[in-house]
């Protein structure tokens, strides 16, 4: 079987034609449409047209996704996908089996199937990018939660007082852009001229100010991982995203966790932390694994509309 696997990102769509054994036959990348849903459907449709022998489409995408219903509750970086039955619309253009899942959950599936979580029963994946993606593997299966948002760690409130606004949710405090802003402020640089590569070049050459920024940044990450470990008790955390390719990033997370456990007056289980195996291709491999494992669980029929759709969105269906 050949599957068209699509990873929809905020800037670009990565795609590949893959076999069930995870072999990539072809791959490429196109810009993500900015105009709206119709353009997105047509962009995927053109990829499908170029691969006439594929038997299914597996999709990784941002947002809160009801994968069984083919429904995007919230589109994440692509807000035009809010409240959208994408699978039904795409099927009219591409009449093959289609499965869609949240991108971080896809990454978790890749790691559980053949990566850093393959040998554990329960594991958690954290993907550090513009915000923070998360995926929870429970009993070797992807856990989605009642409202399809299990693992959505970006929205964890960090303020001791006040509301969980944009300044006080974990995803905006510990996404990669925040590390870049910290370093730019420390150095008196224009934030638009600083990226992750700039920061880690400074860290790896021993720049004390850059290392102090990384220490404070990973301290906040470690605190939330401490909390996740205490609540969910996974056997292992796998860290992904562009900056996870830097060994020193993982090292600083571990060091901060070790300090927290040393100072904690209670006996609590310690988090084990490793890097993701599949890195930037995790969403593609994971979307394929989700298609193979869960496509048979999808609900058939036309999408609900009106009040029924709202009940569906809130998890009442």
Q: What is the pLDDT of residues 211-224, one digit of tens each?
A: 999 999 999 999 99
315 Ramachandran zone, left/alpha/beta (phi>0; psi -120 to 50): left
Mean pLDDT (whole number) for 179-202:
95
Grade residue 254 by pLDDT with cuts at 50, 70 and 90: very high
98 shares its domain with 124: no
pLDDT at 302: 47
Q: Is the pLDDT of residue 184 over 90?
A: yes
Per residue in 133-171, pLDDT tens? 999 999 999 999 999 999 999 989 998 776 777 888 998
153 shares its domain with 40: no
| Beta carbons within 10 angstroms of residue 71's beta carbon | 24
* Cα–Cα separations (whole angstroms), residue 77 to 9, 15, 63: 8, 18, 7
- Compute the distance between CA of residue 284 and CA of residue 13 in angstroms, rounded to an integer: 11
Sign (positive/negative) of CA torsion 290, 80, 172, 250?
Answer: positive
Residue 88 lies in a domain: yes
Higher pLDDT, 160 or 193: 193
Beta-ladder partners of 128: 132
78 shares its domain with 129: no
pLDDT at 300: 62
Encoded tokens for 35: 């105009």
pLDDT at 160: 75
Range of the domain at 23: 2-103+281-313
Q: Shortest CA distance to 225 belongs to which of 175, 152, 153? A: 153
pLDDT at 168: 87
Per residue in 274-305, pLDDT tens? 999 998 899 999 999 999 999 887 776 544 44
146 shares its domain with 263: yes
- Compute the distance between CA of residue 17 and CA of residue 36 in angstroms, rounded to an integer: 25
Half-sphere exposure of 170 (CA within 13 A, CB side): 23
Residue 127 lies in a domain: yes
Q: Shortest CA distance to 131 belongs to which of 110, 158, 113? A: 158
Mean pLDDT (whole number) for 118-123:
97
187 shares its domain with 135: yes
84 shares its domain with 122: no
Mean pLDDT (whole number) for 190-202:
95
Q: Please, are residues 100 and 86 in contact by the beta-carbon 8 Å criterion?
A: yes
- Compute the distance between CA of residue 232 and CA of residue 86 in angstroms, rounded to an integer: 31
Residue 111 lies in a domain: no
pLDDT at 15: 98
194 shares its domain with 243: yes
Q: Is the pLDDT of residue 311 over 50?
A: no
Q: Shortest CA distance to 108 belongs to which of 96, 118, 94? A: 118
Mean pLDDT (whole number) for 17-28:
96
237 shares its domain with 153: yes
Q: Please, are residues 190 and 115 in contact by the beta-carbon 8 Å criterion?
A: no
């Amino acid at each position: 079987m050949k599957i068209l696997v699509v990873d929809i990102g905020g800037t670009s769509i990565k795609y590949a034609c893959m076999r069930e054994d995870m072999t990539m036959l072809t791959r490429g990348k196109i810009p993500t449409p900015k105009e709206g849903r119709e353009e997105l459907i047509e962009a995927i449709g053109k990829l499908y047209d170029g691969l006439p022998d594929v038997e299914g489409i597996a999709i990784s995408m941002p947002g809160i996704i009801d994968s069984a219903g083919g429904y995007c509750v919230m589109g994440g970086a692509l807000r035009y996908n809010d409240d959208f039955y994408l699978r039904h619309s795409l099927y009219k253009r591409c009449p093959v089996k289609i499965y869609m899942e949240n991108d971080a959950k896809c990454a978790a599936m890749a790691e559980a199937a053949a990566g850093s979580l393959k040998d554990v029963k329960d594991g958690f994946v954290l993907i550090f990018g513009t915000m923070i993606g998360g995926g929870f593997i429970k009993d070797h299966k992807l856990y989605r939660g009642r409202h399809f948002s299990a693992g959505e760690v970006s929205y964890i409130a960090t303020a001791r007082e006040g509301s969980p606004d944009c300044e006080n949710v974990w995803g905006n405090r510990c996404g990669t852009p925040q590390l870049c802003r910290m370093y730019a402020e420390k150095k008196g640089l224009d934030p638009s001229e600083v990226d992750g590569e700039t920061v880690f070049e400074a860290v790896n050459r021993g720049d004390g100010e850059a290392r102090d920024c990384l220490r404070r940044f990973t301290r906040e990450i470690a605190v939330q991982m401490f909390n996740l470990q205490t609540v969910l008790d996974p056997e292992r955390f796998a860290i992904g995203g562009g900056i996870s390719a830097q060994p020193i990033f993982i090292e600083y997370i571990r060091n901060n966790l070790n300090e927290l456990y040393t100072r904690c007056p209670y006996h609590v289980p310690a988090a084990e932390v490793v890097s993701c195996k599949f890195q930037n291709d995790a969403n593609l491999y994971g979307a394929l694994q989700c298609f193979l494992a869960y496509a048979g669980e999808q609900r058939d029929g036309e999408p609900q509309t009106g009040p029924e759709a709202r009940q569906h969105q809130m998890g009442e269906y």
